[in-house]
Structure 1
């Protein structure tokens, strides 16, 4: 759905994007992570035709970004960091306005607005002014407005900023439903839990460069500190396991061992096999891997100069 090669952008002498490469498959959630000012929003603006690049090539929904921007715009939707709804209009009026802007026939536009109000659980409040909506309702309406034109690809720039935990999780479910229906999502977020929960693949952007890319689990395994914690019912079992495993760290008070591990299935099978071969009974096993917070802190600089 997105193919980017060598994308560059500078403002004067300040380089914001320094030759980034990205590939986003159809029907997936791709998340771009980075510190404030790392270049995430600039990337979204370029790929959504709102800003020109200085160099590089990009294809969005099969269309060349530079040669056919109109076709790109027809295939995408953009939900920015800040809600684009009109407070003076009702929810239904906001949606019908978008339908008019997409040049949908009047009857079709009204049906589309009604369907989206139902889909986003806003039917009961569709005739109320948006000024009376909660933050979560406004964000749902904002995304519904993006869907009026039935985009193949949606850019979501910080979609849950300012939402309470329940509203955030409701938005996550809406995103999952969109992807299951074949829509591709390009997500930028500062909530690492959100990226972990939603993204099929993640790219980490730092000072204008992609410094890492992979699935959430692949990125976590790149960071040292993962381990398997084994707890035993008897000191004798602890001693026997310590003799077998060697590199483990001992927690005598709790009859436990911490064994360095990347948490992969192969590593777990090898570990359990060593214990089974010597008939060592384990009372409890738990896997501890670095989270995306650890990945983010390890791969990004303290302060990014990009914007």
Structure 2
């Protein structure tokens, strides 16, 4: 929960995205409701702080669903991320134990207790990502992170390549399309714009595509689909809509994806015969509107033509 000191220090009004403001009470209610909804997932709770300029910045994980239709390209694995294999011989030619608490047997390094092969150390995953980690073609490890990581550990995780729904880079399948509707998480702040969030997501998975190829869309339960512009701040959109994805989901889609207005969305769940009748009625209404416009301008054309004809006709004077 948020501390009373933080709550008391808030300004009366909070800027909530492009041109929107919330009262302090409304803001705190939204944050508390959001965190209460995710009470069993504390790593997904939102936190906030107030900068020197008085702006309130919210920080947390944003759930984004994959909705791209064209293939994406993964970057080649960095050399520094390749596994460092254990030496095949002991570092001490005299002692089989070498300088480590292990022993060498038949060219492999073993632990002393049970003669198991020495396990390679692997970097911790971000617990919130809920994704597998890939280091070249080595085994995959899924572990929850511990608190109190060093700066070096955090930097290694930042540079780390994550998988997309279990898909890892290799030369044969480095170009693919993620499964539609599957979700991932990216840690952002409320001050980040749409384009910055897209860049953050692509960097997380080492995606080579240009960020300008993609856009974020708010897809509502009704079927309404609205593209976010670059002035929008996606985390604020999520906060204002609430944490439930049954109401609205945020999708990463192709830039040219067609938007669906709320007026059109209300027809999407109707049966096919009803939709065909709706289309027929719309065509008939369109025909009537077109005919009305044509008739209106034909009438104007006749009136103007008659007036011009009267002006152009010669005036003959008669004398008595």
TM-score range, shorter chain: under 0.3
Which structure has more strand as a fraction of its residues? 1
Q: Rg bigger for which structure?
A: 2
With structure 1 as the length reference, what TM-score do the two structures score?
0.24
| Bigger relative contact order, structure 1 or 2 (CA pairs below 8 A, ≥6 apart) | 1
With structure 2 as the length reference, what TM-score do the two structures score?
0.24
